[in-house]
Structure 1
Amino acid sequence: VLSAMPTFTLPILRVPKKILREVDKCRRRFLWHQDDEITGASCKVNWPTVCAPTEQGGLGILDLQRFGRALHLRWLSTSGT
């Protein structure tokens, strides 16, 4: 659910990195503190670990920048044929 809306828009729009960072900030805040402001000290696990697959000890939450790039590349490779 944390990644559903951003994932829907990533293949269609080229989202600036600043917007993706703000979305990640909202996802971190929701994950650790719901509506409260968040600081680095209140996060339980660093964000790259959270974005790692569950098989590697992460929570499996998508890294939006990497996932968006992969969706664009896939879309480009399938639209050319």
Structure 2
Amino acid sequence: MSEENTAASQQEPPQVPLLGTLLVDIGHRDRVGEFRGVSGPYWSLRPVCGGTEWEAEPVNVRAADPIERLRAETARCNARSAGRIL
């Protein structure tokens, strides 16, 4: 068994984030979503401006960096002021 395979098989699963944490799903073209919960082996994420939740593999999810959080919060505020979300 190679070192890469050994290291990959010994990786611990990512820690489950707090509800509402903004995450980036690199498996879905860096889509930003709000963590909503665990669904089997997947994490449920919801678009910041509302919409249908999607399931992401935890290994393909990372915490949003400050600029991604700022963009998401700005998009949410703009959608709210335009009446697209409550």
The TM-score, its normalising length taken from structure 1, stands at: 0.28
Of Structure 1 and Structure 2, the greater strand share is in 2
Q: Which has the larger radius of gyration?
A: 2
The TM-score, its normalising length taken from structure 2, stands at: 0.27
Of Structure 1 and Structure 2, the greater helix share is in 1
